[in-house]
């Protein structure tokens, strides 16, 4: 009996509650004076990034994505179409985060780690390296594992190498007595660039090979190869080495035997993928002495030394302390470096050196269609990306630079479907933005 009374009471209570709710609902509908529930989030008026920079007309600033609060270290794997950047996790720890460069959506994120450093707040370095068609993101830092930062006994350079597509990691720790210069522009990581003692790290296997000066295999009969010797990169055939007006790939080819027509002395300037950009002195031509001295810039095949494309420029009165690095288009057909542009498929090159007092042109980015972006009066590609100089575009097939009508940010990368831009706001927050290509 007790159970029945309880159940009946429950049923009556439920009916009364239902009637009250029904009356409350009806009353609300009749008044129609608003909603006392939680406020709704305002609808987005645009699916694009919040920041809309002034950019070339080929890009739609209303469509794309935006990342804020990223570090200055980022890298693009063009084949995987992934953009990687370092993100501070907590304290002095970082993680590597990758996003689809077309959508901005997260692809994978690494575990957090603490880089080696003798300086508080230091950020690891980041680059993409390609070996046998596979792309890898590599981060590195330099320091000591011990408590004494002045001790050189435990100083190492530590690499974390991630397969770009999968995010699997390999760690390589290499003892190194002094803070080294590192290059990732060829098919390997080179430690000790600019010296005659270097190491090459294979990103696929993590195998490391070290080289002393005696291991560099000077070309036979080349006395100048033994002077000013320095490793500047690596090709698929081995380390690329400069001497005094000479360069060679250890055990593979000698630049002098692969020189472009009319060249007499040359040095390798940089490596891009498996291409070597070299500057050559040209043999003087008495008939053209009034035109001033010329120099030859050539792109060599890193495997064989064969000249793929070349161009001539006026020889500057003063040599720069550093030459701009070679930058390829995503598909590798085009190559730019400072005021130089090459079409490796057609075997042509163009020099945009200043003439008649004009401002120098620096090319910063090149697309798969052969459209290059740059700026006159910019100090470097970095300066051009950050808004320095007067922005221009140039079709490499029709080498006639055209200035933009107004101020414009230039893409740091172009993947055909999207252009990637960087920007720092007034609060010193770094942004990466992907703007869709029109059409």
Q: In what order do the strands lie in the sheet with 93-100?
A: 74-77, 82-90, 93-100, 106-109
419-427: long-range pairs with CB below 8 Å, 24+: 419/55, 419/56, 419/58, 419/59, 420/76, 420/83, 420/101, 421/53, 421/55, 422/74, 422/385, 422/386, 423/51, 423/53, 424/386, 425/51
Which tens digits make up the pLDDT trace of 392-414? Answer: 999 999 888 999 877 899 999 99
Which tens digits make up the pLDDT trace of 48-76? Answer: 799 999 999 999 999 999 999 998 999 99
* Ordered structural domains, the chain, with CATH: 49-179 (no CATH), 182-322 (2.40.128), 330-414 (no CATH)
In this structure, what token pair is assigned to residue 349?
């090159």
pLDDT (tens, 9 = 90+) of the chain, 439 residues, equals: 333 323 333 333 433 334 333 333 333 333 333 333 333 333 333 457 999 999 999 999 999 999 999 989 999 999 999 999 999 888 789 999 999 999 999 999 999 999 998 677 789 999 999 999 999 999 999 998 765 555 556 799 999 999 999 999 999 999 999 999 999 999 999 999 999 999 999 999 999 999 999 999 999 999 999 999 999 999 999 999 999 999 999 999 999 999 999 999 999 999 999 999 999 999 887 766 545 689 999 999 999 999 999 999 998 877 777 899 999 999 999 999 999 999 999 999 999 987 766 788 999 999 999 999 999 999 999 999 999 999 999 999 988 899 987 789 999 999 999 999 999 999 999 999 999 999 7
């Amino acid at each position: 009996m007790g159970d029945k009374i309880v159940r009946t009471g429950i049923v009556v209570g439920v009916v009364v509650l239902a009637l009250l709710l029904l009356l409350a609902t009806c009353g609300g509908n009749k008044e129609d004076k608003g909603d006392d529930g939680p406020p709704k989030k305002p609808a987005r008026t645009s699916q694009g990034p919040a920041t809309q920079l002034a950019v070339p007309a080929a890009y739609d600033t209303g469509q794309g994505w935006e990342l804020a609060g990223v570090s200055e270290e980022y890298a693009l794997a063009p084949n995987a179409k992934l953009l990687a950047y370092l993100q501070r996790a907590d304290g002095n720890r970082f993680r590597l985060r990758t996003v689809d460069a077309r959508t901005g959506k997260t692809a994978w994120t690494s575990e957090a780690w603490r880089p080696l450093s003798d300086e508080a707040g230091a950020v690891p370095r980041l680059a993409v390296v390609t070996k046998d068609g596979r792309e890898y993101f590599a981060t590195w830092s330099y320091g000591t594992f011990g408590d004494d930062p002045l001790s050189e006994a435990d100083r190492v350079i530590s690499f974390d190498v991630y397969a770009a597509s999968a995010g699997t990691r390999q760690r390589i720790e290499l003892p190194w007595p002094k803070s080294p210069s590192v290059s990732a522009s060829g098919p390997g990581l080179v430690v000790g660039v600019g010296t005659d003692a270097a190491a090459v790290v294979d990103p696929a296997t993590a195998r490391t090979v070290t080289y002393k000066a005696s291991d560099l295999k000077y070309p036979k009969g080349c006395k100048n190869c033994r002077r000013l010797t320095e490793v500047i990169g690596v090709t698929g055939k081995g380390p690329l080495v400069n001497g005094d007006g000479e360069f060679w790939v250890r055990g593979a080819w000698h630049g002098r035997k692969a020189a472009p027509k009319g060249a007499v002395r040359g040095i390798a300037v940089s490596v891009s993928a498996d291409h070597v950009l070299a500057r050559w002195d040209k043999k003087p031509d008495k008939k053209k002495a009034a035109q001033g001295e010329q120099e030859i810039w050539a792109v060599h095949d890193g495997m064989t030394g064969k000249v793929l494309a070349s161009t001539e420029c006026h020889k500057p009165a003063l040599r720069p302390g550093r030459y701009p690095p070679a930058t390829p288009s995503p598909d590798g057909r085009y190559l730019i470096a400072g005021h130089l542009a090459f079409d490796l498929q057609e075997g042509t090159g163009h020099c945009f050196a200043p003439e008649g007092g004009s401002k120098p042109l620096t090319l910063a980015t090149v697309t798969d269609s052969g459209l290059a972006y740059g700026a006159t009066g910019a100090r470097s590609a970095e300066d051009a990306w950050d808004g320095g100089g007067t922005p221009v575009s140039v079709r490499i097939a029709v080498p006639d630079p055209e200035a933009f009508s107004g101020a414009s940010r230039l893409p740091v990368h172009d993947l055909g479907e999207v252009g990637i831009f960087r920007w720092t706001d007034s609060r010193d927050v770094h942004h990466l933005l992907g703007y869709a290509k029109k059409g």
